[in-house]
């Protein structure tokens, strides 16, 4: 029997789950079992956990459906546990180094106890100083083991479940489990403290709790706050049944109703049913108020008196008086120009147009990428919706005929942004755009992340300097309702890079649908448009942007490369869109397609791809055509830009480090041999999971038409997809 069983629920934390698991497996004390609780075998977290279970026999995952909530996940983990003591660790928290050794030493020092309480550190995700809220409670506890009556302030309801270690036999013999769903820590902590006979404290930090940017999920608006009253009633009823002494009942009562009053006084937690919540809380207060109880002084005492008397109108007035003008001012829109601000503010007071969809791609560069693909599908499946594409003045000409548009910064631009029910973007809308109640923001992204993105860029000085304010970036992220991903890797990395409360849609990238739906005629048409000569193999060369470079630079001399590989090939040059200088330019062996509006067309035209670290490789892999990674400066790029995985260990095909090596793989044909094909197959298995040709349909049905998740077309397995044919394959 292991000394410790560590239960780690993982719902919604796949992106940071590995940090929690690593913190456990790296402990110097190794006598434990680690029980990650996943939603299902095919859930995002399950992919993360599977690798750990293969490498370490102490990792034994179990499954609990999301509908069971946090309480169900913990109870499932508890049932599977066989260790002497149980520790519950949230999936985005970590054990500090030496934590298990410290717990083991403390248990040995105090002897058998039902509960060992310990300190935890609450670490702000972005800025601010860490706090240790458990320290004041534990500072006044006796030195050794003690009965709960000797530390009445230790009620259990003021500490989270992961701030204590529990003797497993104590929990099972007393039938203790996590009650309900929301606010389960309050109910569990209170019941445990009521039933425990012998406890102890460890005055040292064991768990480092990462505070979410978006705050505790329990603090979000919703009817779930009624469960706080259910947990309060459960604990106080059990206390009454035990005839809890007055010196223990008073702090328990105060700590429970401190949480109740905080919710009752918070205008955003209870968007409806505030009066009913207050009345029920008032009845609970009067029923369980200890005999001779004296209310605290000051404003808190006034709230106690109003709750005891059931004076909701007076309580509401007190709450309103505490609102400050500065908070209201902070919510005002701030577009540039007084006249524009006034017009936008006026439009925000008008009702949402529930049939209006606003699209934008690449900060207004034109009609492109996932937003364009969703727009095209919406015209077929939801013709009743009015769609407006936002573009910069110089990009107006790129908008296809029949597509309504608005120039960014214009009066129409602000009007449609204020009124639209749906807003779709592959980047982000301007800082001044207000997220209205009832509106739906869909972030489609525009690639699979190899390089670090979002908040993960903060530790790379060159990138961070170019990114600007991360606080503003994350404020824009907070507007998202949905975030689209094309593979499980992206799901995990976006959760890390853009932490917020949005829902992830693993539907694939709509712009990649064409890789499964295009015909040989489509490929031939695009090649003709780009100027690819008949009979030539087209190699797409697509290098990415270097944050440490001042302009478009490449370590490859294309003229020399073309000379080295022979006359059978032409090169399609597509530089990063930062260096787009206009329309495509053709001629000779090198055809510049940087300005071509559709990267999908360019990929369809190419018989093979040469890239370095551009995310185009993940999209092109859907075509199942050869890919060569030209990694002449990988070490510099990795250290300067930061990456999520080592591309050299999982390349999409052959890797070349020098111009000579690159030319050689095309001269001898190894760019498309069995080894290259095998590497590409493994790459596709990992990164082409959801791009099956129906992504746009799934997005339109779920987001714009509001169809339930269970009715959305499932993803076609990779082995059953038929990619668009390459031109060279057509001829053969």
* Tens of pLDDT, residues 615-661: 999 999 999 999 999 998 898 888 887 899 999 999 999 999 999 99
DSSP category for residue 389: E
- Residue 676, token pair as written in the block: 């290259």
Q: What is the number of alpha carbons within 13 Å of residue 697 lying toward its C-beta?
A: 13
Strands 590-592 and 569-573: parallel
pLDDT(465) > 60: no
**Rounded to the nearest 5°, which phi and psi values hold at 387?**
-120, 135
- CA proximity to 263, closest of 325, 195, 182, 372: 182
Distance CA 390, CA 405 (A): 6
Distance CA 285, CA 307 (A): 7
pLDDT at 225: 85
Question: Strand pairing partners for 116?
Answer: 165, 200
Confidence of residue 578 (pLDDT cuts 50, 70, 90): very low
pTM, to two decimals: 0.70
pLDDT at 550: 47
Strands ordered across the beta sheet of 569-573: 590-592, 569-573, 537-542, 608-611, 627-630, 654-656
**Residue range 191-207: mean pLDDT, rounded:** 95
Q: By the 8 A CB rule, do 364 and 397 touch?
A: no
The pLDDT > 90 percentage for the chain reads: 64
Count of C-beta atoms within a 10 Å radius of residue 138: 21
What distances in angstroms separate CA 703 from CA 104, 316, 444, 541, 690, one per listed residue? 51, 37, 12, 35, 17
Strands ordered across the beta sheet of 503-505: 405-407, 386-391, 353-360, 420-425, 440-443, 482-484, 503-505
Q: 449-466 burial by CB neighbour count: b if 16+ within 10 A, else e? A: bbbbbbbbbeebeebeee
Distance CA 48, CA 11 (A): 12
Distance CA 409, CA 693 (A): 35
pLDDT at 580: 40
pLDDT at 463: 58
Question: Strand pairing partners for 542?
Answer: 611
pLDDT at 295: 86
Distance CA 628, CA 607 (A): 12
Higher pLDDT pick, 580 / 127: 127
| Exposed / middle / buried, residue 319 (Cβ in 10 Å: 0-12, 13-18, 19+) | middle
Three-state DSSP class for residue 87: strand
Q: What is the pLDDT of residues 345-364, one digit of tens each?
A: 899 999 999 999 999 999 99
Q: By the 8 A CB rule, do 489 and 686 touch?
A: yes
pLDDT at 466: 57
Q: What is the dihedral of CA 323, 324, 327, 331, to 10 degrees?
A: 80
pLDDT at 547: 59
pLDDT(586) > 50: no
């Amino acid at each position: 029997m292991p000394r410790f069983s560590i239960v780690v629920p993982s719902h919604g934390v796949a992106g940071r789950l590995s940090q929690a698991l690593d913190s456990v497996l790296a402990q110097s004390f190794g006598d434990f079992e680690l029980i990650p609780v996943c939603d299902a075998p095919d859930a995002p977290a399950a992919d993360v956990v599977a690798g750990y279970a293969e490498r370490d026999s102490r990792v034994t995952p179990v499954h609990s459906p999301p509908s069971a909530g946090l309480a169900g996940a913990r109870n499932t983990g508890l049932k599977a546990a066989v260790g002497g003591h149980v520790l519950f660790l949230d999936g985005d928290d970590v054990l500090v180094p030496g934590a298990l050794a410290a717990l083991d030493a403390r248990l040995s020092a105090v002897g058998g106890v039902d509960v060992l309480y310990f300190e935890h550190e609450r670490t702000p995700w972005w800025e601010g100083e860490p706090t240790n809220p458990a320290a004041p409670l534990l500072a006044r506890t006796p030195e050794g083991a003690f009965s709960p009556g000797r530390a009445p302030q230790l009620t259990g309801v003021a500490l989270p479940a992961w701030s204590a270690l529990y003797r497993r036999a104590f929990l099972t013999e007393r039938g203790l489990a996590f009650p309900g769903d929301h606010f389960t820590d309050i109910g569990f902590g209170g019941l445990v403290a009521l039933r425990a006979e012998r406890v102890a404290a460890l005055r040292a930090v064991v768990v480092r709790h990462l505070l979410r940017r978006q705050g505790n999920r329990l603090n979000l608006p919703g009817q779930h706050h009624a469960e706080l009253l259910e947990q309060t009633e459960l604990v106080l009823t059990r206390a009454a049944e035990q005839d809890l002494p007055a010196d223990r009942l008073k702090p328990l009562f105060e700590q429970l109703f401190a949480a109740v009053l905080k919710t009752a006084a918070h205008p955003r937690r209870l968007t409806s049913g505030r009066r009913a919540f207050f009345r029920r809380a008032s009845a609970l207060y009067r029923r369980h108020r200890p005999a001779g109880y004296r209310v605290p002084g000051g404003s808190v005492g006034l709230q106690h008196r109003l709750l005891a008397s059931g004076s909701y109108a007076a309580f509401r007035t007190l709450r309103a008086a505490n609102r400050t003008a500065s908070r209201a001012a902070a919510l005002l829109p701030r577009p540039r120009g007084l006249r524009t601000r006034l017009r936008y503010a006026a439009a925000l007071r008008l009702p949402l147009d529930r049939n209006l969809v606003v699209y934008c791609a690449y900060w207004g560069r034109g009609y492109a990428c996932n937003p364009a693909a969703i727009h095209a599908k919406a015209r077929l499946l939801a013709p009743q919706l009015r769609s407006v594409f936002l573009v910069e003045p110089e990009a107006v000409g790129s908008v296809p005929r029949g597509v309504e548009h608005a120039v960014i910064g214009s009066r129409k631009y602000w009007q449609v942004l204020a009124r639209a029910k749906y807003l779709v973007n592959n980047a982000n809308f301007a800082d001044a755009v207000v997220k209205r109640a009832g509106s739906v923001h869909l972030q489609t992204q525009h690639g699979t992340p190899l390089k670090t993105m979002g908040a993960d860029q903060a530790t790379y000085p060159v990138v961070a300097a170019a990114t600007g304010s991360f606080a503003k970036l994350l404020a824009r992220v907070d507007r998202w309702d949905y975030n689209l991903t094309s593979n499980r890797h992206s799901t995990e990395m976006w959760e890390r890079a853009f932490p917020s409360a949005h829902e992830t849609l693993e539907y694939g990238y709509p712009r990649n649908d064409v890789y499964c739906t295009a015909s040989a005629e489509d490929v031939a048409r695009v090649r003709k448009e780009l100027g690819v000569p008949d009979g030539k193999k087209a190699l797409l060369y697509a290098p990415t942007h270097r944050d440490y470079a001042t302009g478009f630079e490449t370590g490859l001399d294309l003229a020399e490369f073309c000379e080295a590989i022979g006359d059978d090939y032409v090169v399609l040059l597509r530089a990063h869109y930062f260096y787009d200088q206009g329309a495509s330019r053709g001629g000779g062996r090198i055809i510049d397609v940087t300005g071509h509006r559709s990267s999908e067309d360019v990929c369809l035209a190419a018989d093979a791809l040469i890239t370095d670290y551009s995310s185009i490789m993940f999209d092109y892999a859907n075509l199942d055509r050869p890919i060569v990674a030209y990694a002449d400066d990988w070490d510099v790029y990795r250290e300067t830009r930061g990456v999520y995985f080592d591309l050299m260990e999982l390349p999409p095909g052959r890797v070349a480090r020098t111009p000579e090596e690159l030319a050689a793989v095309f001269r001898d044909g190894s760019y498309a041999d069995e080894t290259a094909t095998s590497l590409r197959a493994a790459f596709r298995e990992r990164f082409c999971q959801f791009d099956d040709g129906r992504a746009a349909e799934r997005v339109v049905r779920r987001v714009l038409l509001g169809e339930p998740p269970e009715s959305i077309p499932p993803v076609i397995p990779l082995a059953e997809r038929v990619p668009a044919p390459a031109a060279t394959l057509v001829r053969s």
